[in-house]
Amino acid sequence: MIPPFEARIANPTLRRTAERLEVLQVNVGRRCNLACGHCHMESGPNRTELMTRKTMEHVLRVLRSWKFKTLDITGGAPEMTPNFQWLVEEGIKSGAHVMVRSNLVILNEPGYEHLPEFFAEHGVEVVASLPYYTERDCDRQRGSGTFRTVIAMLQKLNALGYGRDERLPLDLVYNPGGAFLPPNQAELEREYKTRLSADFDVIFNRLFAITNTPVGRFGDFLRRTGNFDRYRQRLHDAFNPAALEGMMCRFQLSAAWDGGLYDCDFNQAAKLPVKGPANIRDLGDVPEGREIAFGEHCYACTAGAGSSCGGATA
Ligand code: SF4
Ligand code: SF4
């Protein structure tokens, strides 16, 4: 029997967000050129949920009035949402640090090839998913041919200054290829750096090791393979109280393609809305810190070294 996640949080302060939120994460759409087996948002080429310009205007209003430091744009493949470039430009004009979570494969598709230059010109931080540094493991998770394309795009970003120029950070995301926890992030980062540099002359700044959350397509995969209960138990057994302080929901607000508000992207996937105004269009003044909506999937954020969109937290 797995106890409710809240019951593991002894300090009531950690059940609420920090007074000052730092990141506004915006999931601008479910459409994606890929359909990865681990995708918690169940994104793919046939999804039609895309953020409208009107909702983006509300995002920008809240970004400015709440003085968020970072606008973190994700999807789907966020590049496929209409007005994506406008959102990036307006976010930067607002003084925020803008980061885009890209699968990089999209940057090689017709109509998107100009985006590496666009990112570099605007000083956008690129966070790129690369499940492993070998072709076989990467293609198994993301689809045949993806590894080679991602490497070519990393080389292109490097040529534009990414990974070298401090104005142009390039981070990679690792996630396990099955029902297990990520290895030590620092060691894995060293391995990635050594291999990618030696094999492909690719450099990057940081590696984020992210634990797979048992929701969405990854949850379905676990059920299909008879691993769901074992994985839930594994996350629970690996509970690390030291990871509570750094849970990303304590410092961010997450908006979905339709403006729906959540504590994080995983709560979006689990359909667990924020305790407060349900939609970004209804948000007014900055609140003093809100109670976080937790679910059983939250154990993924506190297992082992902890996990967040920025990697390990403990
Ligand atoms: S994991 Fe990322 S790249 Fe893969 S389908 Fe989901 S949104 Fe697309
Ligand atoms: S899943 Fe979301 S709400 Fe739950 S602990 Fe992780 S960041 Fe917080």
| Phi, psi dihedrals of residue 245, rounded to the nearest 5° | -60, -35
Residue with tokens 């606008």: 71
* Ligand 1 first shell, C-beta below 6 A: 32, 34-36, 39, 41, 43, 75-77, 103, 129
Contact of 210 with 307, CB cutoff 8 Å = yes
57-77: per-residue pLDDT in tens? 999 999 999 999 999 999 999
- Could you tell me the two tokens for 78? 């966020």
Helix-helix angle 146-159:115-122, to 10 degrees: 40
Ligand (nearest to CA of 129) = 1
Distance (Å, whole) CA 252 – CA 238: 24
pLDDT in tens, 199-221: 999 999 999 999 999 998 899 99
Average pLDDT over residues 108-118: 98
Q: Which atom of ligand 1 is nearest to the CA of 30?
A: 7
User: How many angstroms separate the CA atoms of 233 and 226, rounded?
Assistant: 13
Overall average pLDDT of the 138-158 stretch: 93
Mean pLDDT of 165-184: 94
What is the pLDDT, as a whole number, of residue 234? 96
**CA nearest ligand 1 atom 6, residue:** 39
For 218, phi then psi, to 5°, come to -70, -40
Q: How confident is residue 312, by pLDDT bands cut at 50, 70 and 90?
A: very high
Cβ-contact 266, 40 below 8 angstroms:
yes
Predicted pLDDT of residue 66? 92
Distance 269 CA to ligand 2 centre (A): 11
Across residues 2-31, what is the average pLDDT? 95
Q: CA 6, CA 147: separation in Å to the nearest integer?
A: 39
Confidence of residue 143 (pLDDT cuts 50, 70, 90): confident
Q: Examine the pLDDT at 126 and tell me if it is beyond 90.
A: yes
Considering the chain, what is the average pLDDT of its residues? Answer: 95
Q: What domains sit in the chain, N to C, each tagged with a CATH number?
A: 19-301 (3.20.20.70)
Mean pLDDT of 40-65: 96
Give the mean pLDDT of 119-140. Answer: 94
Number of Cβ within 10 Å of residue 90's Cβ equals 19
Strands in the chain per DSSP E: 23-27, 70-74, 97-102, 125-129, 170-174, 206-209, 252-255, 261-262
Asked if 130 and 175 count as a contact pair (C-beta separation under 8 A), the reply is: no
The pLDDT confidence band at residue 17, using thresholds 50, 70 and 90, is very high
pLDDT value at residue 1: 85
Which ligand lies nearest to the CA atom of residue 101 in the structure?
Answer: 1
CA pair distance 55, 67, nearest whole angstrom: 18
With a pLDDT cut of 90, the percent of the chain lying above it is 87
Helix (H) or strand (E) holding 173: strand 170-174
pLDDT value at 288 more than 80: no
List, in order, residues 6 or more apart from 242 with CB less than 8 Å away.
Answer: 306, 314
How long is the chain?
A: 314
Q: Ligand 2: list residues with CB < 6 Å.
A: 247-249, 263-264, 266-267, 292, 294, 297-298, 301
Taking the CA of 293 as reference, the closest ligand is: 2
Residue whose pair of structure tokens reads 């300090």 in the numeric block: 11
Residue 108 pLDDT grade (very low, low, confident, very high; cuts 50, 70, 90): very high
pLDDT at 299 over 80: yes
> For 129-135, what is the mean pLDDT?
92
φ/ψ of residue 99, rounded to 5: -120, 145
Which is nearest to 302 in space by CA: 218, 248, 263, 244?
244
Q: 158: closest CA among 201, 107, 113? A: 201
